[in-house]
Amino acid sequence: GESVGLHLPTLSVQEGDNSIINCAYSNSASDYFIWYKQESGKGPQFIIDIRSNMDKRQGQRVTVLLNKTVKHLSLQIAATQPGDSAVYFCAENDPGTYKYIFGTGTRLKVLA
């Protein structure tokens, strides 16, 4: 398949282990955050979101943590599966401009 990014940071995890992907965001005024998953040759797919009035949100096998003090976002994937292999992006929404700003992405490789 086609590469989303050739020089992305890569996280390699064993199948069944937990994965933690980190993201530093830029704007302290951003009030809404999204994690996306992008598989090779496809558009980004919504995984989970969180608003700035929360510090944790859980979905199915995924948890997003927000630390506004240090402008840090993380995505935790429990019991990582081969199908989780993809590039993961965080996005922040600036309430003043409605713009989404995307992180550079992290490639997750799941080792069998």
Partner 1 sequence: KAGVTQTPRYLIKTRGQQVTLSCSPISGHRSVSWYQQTPGQGLQFLFEYFSETQRNKGNFPGRFSGRQFSNSRSEMNVSTLELGDSALYLCASAPPTSTDTQYFGPGTRLTVL
Interface residue with partner 1 among 11, 13, 22, 49 (CB under 8 A) is 49
Sign of CA dihedral 6, 70, 93, 18: positive
Side-chain-facing half-sphere of 56: CA atoms under 13 Å = 3
Among 88, 93, 107, 110, binds partner 1 (CB under 8 A): 93
Q: Is 89 in the site for partner 1 (CB under 8 A)?
A: yes
Task: Considering only the stretches 12-20, 37-45, 55-63, 78-86, report the one whose residues sit in contact with partner 1 under the rule CB under 8 A.
Answer: 37-45
Q: Cβ closer to partner 1: 8 or 13?
A: 8
